[in-house]
Amino acid sequence: MTHILAIDQGTTSTRAILFDQSLNVTASAQEEFPQHFPRSGWVEHDPTDLWATTAATCRAAVEKAGVRAEGIAAIGITNQRETTLVWDRRTGQPVYNAIVWQDRRTAEMCRALHADGFEAVITEKTGLLLDPYFSGTKLAWILDNVEGARAEAEAGHLLFGTVDSWLVWKLTGGQVHATDATNAARTMLYDIRKGGWSSTICKALNIPMSMLPEVRDCDAFYGECRADLFGRPIPILGIAGDQQAATIGQACFKPGMVKSTYGTGCFALLNTGAEPVMSKHRLLTTIAYQIGGQTTYALEGSIFIAGAVVQWLRDGLKIIRHAAETQPLAARADETQQLIMVPAFTGLGAPYWNADCRGAIFGLTRNSGPEEFARAALESVGYQTRDLIEAMRADWAADHGDATMSTLRVDGGMSASDWAMQFLSDILNAPVERPRVLETTAMGAAWLAGQKAEVLPGMEDFAASWAKGAEFAPKMEAADRDARYGAWKRAVEATIGFAG
């Protein structure tokens, strides 16, 4: 058994990657699936698409690699987090579409809970803020708005899960209803200090606890996949939410290490060690990973729109055909124009947490064109990252007495853009490191499963194998940096102000 199969189920596509014992990619397959936007601010997936693309890409990757099922030691899963599914335990049929993490339909529910003074309870127990982003209010919405759902749930017939739970249920033929600690920590229902579901929060949201999956370590046995999928049962031995899997794949195992992943959104995680650090700057306190029964915590900053802003240039404005075109366009932009794009298409994440504001562009002239839009789109990701890093530095300093943090390690699709990463280094005034292997999220899931199966090295040896592919050092003058970031802060303030 020389290979690990990693499933990377994302917001816009599903990938399956086969890694060998040196964690080199042997083969991969990827399929996009439709996004559904029933109303403004609503985002959904068809659960059958999530499963169908998972099964298809796994089979395609294994076939492409020419590896027999007997050669696959284990399966690891990483997934888009917070996305909420409810299905019937008797039939396995979903009762509604998956409500995606980007969805904002429960904003009013969150405001009502906030008005009742419940946010303090949420933050104390879960480390999260009271926001539509998380799974709890999404689940409550399904129970309240899908005909018959609440009665069926109270009768014990319905199950809740994040995407990992749904995939485990499907892979095992309905034998296992479980999740890992990192995904549980993102539901707004899980007490991260006590390590269990919070009956207090479930009662407040009127959620039957019989719906909730069993919570296990990231490296744990999650059952075996159905024999008909690959020709023999293969154990599922690792699960982590995508950002935690990337943290693992980036080998950020020491307190103070920080990584930032650029996918549909952008997510920065700072390892804070064995004790949770409660943020005073509206960051999230969460679980980085739980391995061998030991919990490691993190501070996280979440940006809703990163790579998605490039998708908007392509699919909405249609000024590019491929994401890679943004780099040369940005490089040709008129330097005398200072467009600021605030991509709050589904609200603003950390550290603002404003569910109501929407996107805006400042500084337009008659000469503004595709080049300037491309540059503003890429720069918006750098500005938002600085917002996160500044908040992290302040929280870290308050807890540890100084603001010293490690070099930022980056990954995800947008990290392949040298132009974007150079601007990121410039606006942060800090070095940025990109790993040699960019598949850090899938690699994290593969390592979890592989080390549990005892075919991959332990944590220290894995960390020692991390290799830098490129490094970007700041070149921007301090006055220019300050002026640009000041303009960004004014633009955000105006965008929030316009929302009222």
State whether 232 and 265 are in the same domain. Answer: no
Please state, in angstroms and rounded to a whole number, the distance separating the CA atoms of residues 187 and 205: 12
Q: What angle do CA 157, 51, 62 make, to 5 degrees?
A: 140
- The pLDDT score that the predictor gives to residue 368 is 94
State whether 72 and 39 are in the same domain. Answer: yes
State whether 111 and 217 are in the same domain. Answer: yes
State whether 220 and 279 are in the same domain. Answer: no
- The pLDDT score that the predictor gives to residue 404 is 60
Please state, in angstroms and rounded to a whole number, the distance separating the CA atoms of residues 448 and 462: 11
Tens of pLDDT, residues 133-174: 899 999 999 999 999 999 999 999 999 999 999 999 999 999
**Locate tokens 């040709």: which residue?**
332
Does 437 or 398 have the greater pLDDT score? 437
CA distances, 225 to each of 234, 328, 445, 450 (Å): 5, 45, 16, 16
Q: Are strands 340-342 and 360-362 parallel, antiparallel or unpaired?
A: antiparallel
3-state per-residue secondary structure call for the chain: CCEEEEEEECCCEEEEEEEECCCCEEEEEEEECCCECCCCCCCEECHHHHHHHHHHHHHHHHHHHCCCHHHEEEEEEEECCCCEEEEECCCCCECCCEECCCCCCCHHHHHHHHHCCCHHHHHHHHCCCCCCCCHHHHHHHHHHHCCCHHHHHHCCCEEEECHHHHHHHHHCCCCCCEEEHHHHCCCCCEECCCCEECHHHHHHHCCCHHHCCEEECCCCCCCECCHHHHCCCCEEEEEEEHHHHHHHHCCCCCCCCEEEEECCCEEEEEEEECCCCCCCCCCEEEEEEEECCEEEEEEEEEECCCHHHHHHHHHHCCCCCCHHHHHHHHHCCCCCCCCEEECCECEECCCCCECCCCCEEECCCCCCCHHHHHHHHHHHHHHHHHHHHHHHHHHHHHHHCCCCCCCEEEECHHHHCHHHHHHHHHHHCCCEEEECCCCHHHHHHHHHHHHHCCCCCCHHHHHHCCCEEEEECCCCCHHHHHHHHHHHHHHHHHHHHHHC
Q: Are strands 294-303 and 408-411 parallel, antiparallel or unpaired?
A: unpaired
Token pair belonging to 295: 């919990």
User: Is the residue at 424 inside a domain?
Assistant: yes
Query: Residue 350 carries which side chain, given as an amino acid letter?
Result: A
Query: Residue 205 carries which side chain, given as an amino acid letter?
Result: L
Q: What is the mean pLDDT of the chain?
A: 92
User: Is the residue at 16 inside a domain?
Assistant: yes
Tens of pLDDT, residues 217-274: 999 999 999 999 888 999 999 999 999 999 999 999 998 889 998 888 888 999 999 9
Please state, in angstroms and rounded to a whole number, the distance separating the CA atoms of residues 381 and 383: 5
**What is the model's pTM?**
0.87
- What integer is the mean pLDDT of 46-70? 93
- The pLDDT score that the predictor gives to residue 438 is 81
400 has a pLDDT exceeding 80: no
Tens of pLDDT, residues 4-38: 999 999 988 999 999 999 888 999 999 999 999 99
State whether 270 and 380 are in the same domain. Answer: yes
70 has a pLDDT exceeding 90: no
What b/e string do you get for 113-132 counting C-beta neighbours within 10 Å, with b at 16 or more? beeeebbebbbebbbbbbbb
Please state, in angstroms and rounded to a whole number, the distance separating the CA atoms of residues 408 and 252: 10
User: Is the residue at 71 inside a domain?
Assistant: yes
The percentage of residues in the chain with a pLDDT greater than 90, rounded to a whole number, is 74
State whether 9 and 76 are in the same domain. Answer: yes
**261 in Cβ contact with 267 (< 8 Å):** yes
User: Is the residue at 282 inside a domain?
Assistant: yes
* Domain closes at, from 209, 242, 275: 242
Tens of pLDDT, residues 275-288: 898 888 889 999 99
State whether 56 and 141 are in the same domain. Answer: yes
Confidence at 405, pLDDT banded by 50, 70, 90: low
State whether 309 and 180 are in the same domain. Answer: no
State whether 396 and 429 are in the same domain. Answer: yes
**177 in Cβ contact with 159 (< 8 Å):** yes
- The pLDDT score that the predictor gives to residue 191 is 97
403 has a pLDDT exceeding 60: no
318 has a pLDDT exceeding 60: yes
Report how far apart the first and last C-alpha atoms of the chain are (Å, whole number). Answer: 59
Query: Residue 10 carries which side chain, given as an amino acid letter?
Result: G
User: Is the residue at 453 inside a domain?
Assistant: no
User: Is the residue at 257 inside a domain?
Assistant: yes
Domains identified in the chain, total number: 2
Q: Are strands 190-191 and 158-161 parallel, antiparallel or unpaired?
A: unpaired
Enclosing domain of residue 314? 250-435+467-500
User: Is the residue at 226 inside a domain?
Assistant: yes
Tens of pLDDT, residues 344-366: 998 888 888 887 889 999 999 99
2 has a pLDDT exceeding 90: no
Residue 23's domain is classified under what CATH number? 3.30.420.40
Please state, in angstroms and rounded to a whole number, the distance separating the CA atoms of residues 81 and 246: 13
State whether 162 and 28 are in the same domain. Answer: yes
- What integer is the mean pLDDT of 371-393? 93
- The pLDDT score that the predictor gives to residue 66 is 87
Angle between helices 107-115 and 119-126 (to 10 degrees): 100
67 has a pLDDT exceeding 90: no
- The pLDDT score that the predictor gives to residue 40 is 85
